[in-house]
């Protein structure tokens, strides 16, 4: 483990396409780009191409995360429960994180409460995001409660996956799992015993999720296996055309080329972290050719 001034092998300082500070991890023919803004993983390129997706009209504005890659959701998911003026999905995706340490092909970024976060959310917290590149991409989001009271919060790795063609993409592993559909114009009825296919706006929060899901994307001739630990929720999202028109960073037909499969603890699976304790959610992504 090395300090922030001395980076480990396979870890280099880089810039995102907007010229903002980032860290690149390199291992063999794989490359990952992680922005310091929001500790957002922007890209993971490997032997099967770019695994992640970002909007074709994203703007790299100061302090604003782009739509795509893996934004982090914390400490609340969706709108704030009582104050709609506060940012959706919390605020850590808008904060500039620091490099805490590196190891070969691995970086840990950190952020914690400050005067600005305490105005939005009056709690002390310390987060780290560790990203490690090998044959797979391993991600760990750790939340530490340094305060004296219980820390109640929600979290998500809001992963945008490239799918090539949404009409043929399929999520396996959620069959029979309880879910709440929150889309404005959802599919009328669907067979919950079958793998999830996209037929309309989809915004489903699954609870009590298994630790292994698969996203099959025949248009890209590959599938991604998601293996998680300490994640009890998953959100599967595609905005379809009507909602796409209301979203930033996206062209009118962008909805056809991505879906989000989010690794999370939300709503009835929100976290309650005791004083001095830490919660760590992990996600391992393994992309394989079909
Ligand atoms: C998903 C939500 O997690 O994020 C959707 O379930 C939401 O309802 C989407 O539209 C995008 O959110 P945002 O804030 O990044 O536009």
Residue 3 pLDDT more than 60?
no
User: How distant is the alpha carbon of residue 281 from its chain centre?
Assistant: 12
Predicted model pTM: 0.97
The pLDDT assigned to 6 comes to: 84
Residue nearest to atom 1 of ligand 1 (CA): 237
How far apart CA 181 and CA 281 sit, in angstroms, is 24
Percent of the chain at pLDDT above 90? 96
Cα(77) to centroid(ligand 1), Å: 9
- Is residue 126 predicted with pLDDT exceeding 90? yes
d(CA 121, CA 194): 40
Q: What is the DSSP string of the chain?
A: -B-TTSPPTTEEEEE-TTS-EEEEEEETTEEEEEESBTT-EEEEEETTEE-B-B-TT----TT---SBSB-EEBS-SSS-SS-TTSPTTBSGGGSBPEEEEEETTEEEEEEE--HHHHHHS----EEEEEEEESSSEEEEEEEE--SSS-EEE-EEE--EEE-S-TTT-EEES-TT--EEE--SSB-S---TTS-EE-SSBEEEEEES--SEEEEEEGGGTEEEEEEEES--EEEEEE-HHHHHTTSTT--TTGGGGEEEEEEEE-GGG-EEEPTT-EEEEEEEEEEEE-
Q: What mean pLDDT is predicted for residues 190-201?
A: 96
Report whether pLDDT(5) > 90.
Answer: no
Cβ(127)–Cβ(153) below 8 Å:
no
- Tell me the CA–centroid distance for residue 78 and ligand 1, in Å: 7
pLDDT band at 2 (very low <50, low <70, confident <90, very high): low
Binned at pLDDT 50, 70 and 90, residue 4 comes out as low
Hey, whose CA ends up nearest to atom 6 of ligand 1?
203
Pairing mode, strands 212-217 and 222-229: antiparallel
Cα-based torsion angle of the residue sequence 218, 33, 110, 91 in order, rounded to the nearest 10 degrees: -60
Reply yes or no on whether the pLDDT at 182 is more than 80.
Answer: yes
Residues with a CB atom less than 6 Å from ligand 1: 88-89, 158, 203, 235, 237, 247, 262
**Ligand 1 centroid, distance to 91 Cα (angstroms):** 14
Ligand 1 atom closest to the CA of 243, numbered from 1? 10
CA 105 to ligand 1 centroid distance, Å: 30
Please give the Cα distance from 283 to 79 (Å, whole number): 24
The number of the ligand 1 atom at minimal distance from the alpha carbon of 71 is 15
- Ligand 1 atom nearest the C-alpha of 182 is 8
Which atom of ligand 1 is the closest one to the Cα of 78?
Answer: 2
Rounded distance from Cα 51 to ligand 1 centre (Å): 20
From the CA of 247, give the closest atom in ligand 1: 16
Q: Which of 57, 73, 154, 237 to mutate to test the pocket of ligand 1 (most atoms within 8 A of CB)?
A: 237
Give per-residue pLDDT as tens, 47-88: 999 999 999 999 998 889 999 999 999 999 999 999 999 999
- What is the Cα–Cα distance from 216 to 130, expressed in whole angstroms? 26
- Measured in Å, residue 237 CA sits from the centre of ligand 1 at 8
Dist. CA 189 → ligand 1 center (Å): 22
**To test the ligand 1 pocket, which listed residue (78, 179, 255) has its Cβ within 8 A of the most ligand atoms?**
78
CA–CA gap between residue 61 and residue 52 (Å, rounded): 20
Q: Whose CA is closest to atom 7 on ligand 1? A: 78
Percent of the chain with pLDDT over 70: 98
Structure tokens at 104: 């070969």
Q: In this predicted structure, what is the pLDDT of residue 62?
A: 87
C-alpha of residue 267 to centroid of ligand 1, in Å: 15
Give the integer Cα–Cα distance in Å for 240 and 250.
12
Q: Whose CA is nearest to atom 15 of ligand 1?
A: 67
């Amino acid at each position: 483990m090395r300090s922030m001034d001395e980076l480990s092998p396979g870890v280099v300082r880089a810039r995102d396409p907007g010229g903002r500070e980032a860290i690149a991890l390199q291992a063999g023919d794989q490359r990952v780009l992680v922005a310091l803004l929001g500790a957002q993983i922007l890209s993971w390129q490997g032997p099967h191409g770019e695994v992640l997706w970002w909007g074709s009209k994203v703007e790299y504005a100061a302090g604003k995360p782009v739509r795509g890659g893996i934004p982090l959701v914390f400490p609340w998911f969706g709108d704030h429960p009582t104050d709609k003026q506060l940012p959706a999905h919390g605020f850590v995706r808008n904060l500039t994180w620091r490099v805490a340490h590196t190891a070969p092909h691995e970086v840990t970024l950190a952020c914690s409460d400050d005067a600005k976060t305490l105005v939005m959310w009056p709690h002390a917290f310390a987060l780290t995001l560790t990203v490690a590149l090998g044959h797979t991409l391993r991600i760990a989001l750790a939340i530490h409660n340094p305060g004296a009271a219980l820390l109640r919060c929600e979290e998500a790795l809001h992963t945008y996956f490239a799918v090539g063609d949404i009409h043929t993409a399929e999520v396996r592993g959620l069959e029979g799992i309880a879910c709440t559909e929150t889309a404005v114009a959802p599919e009328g009825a669907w067979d919950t015993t079958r793998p999830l296919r996209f037929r309309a706006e989809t915004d489903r929060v699954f609870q009590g999720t298994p630790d292994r899901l698969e996203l099959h994307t025949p248009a890209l001739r590959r599938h991604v296996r998601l293996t998680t630990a300490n994640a009890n929720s998953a959100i599967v999202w595609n905005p379809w055309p009507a909602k796409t028109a209301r979203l930033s960073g996206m062209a009118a037909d962008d909805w056809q080329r991505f879906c989000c499969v989010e690794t999370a603890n939300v709503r009835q699976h929100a976290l309650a972290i005791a004083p001095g304790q830490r919660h760590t959610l992990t996600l391992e992504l393994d992309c394989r050719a079909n």
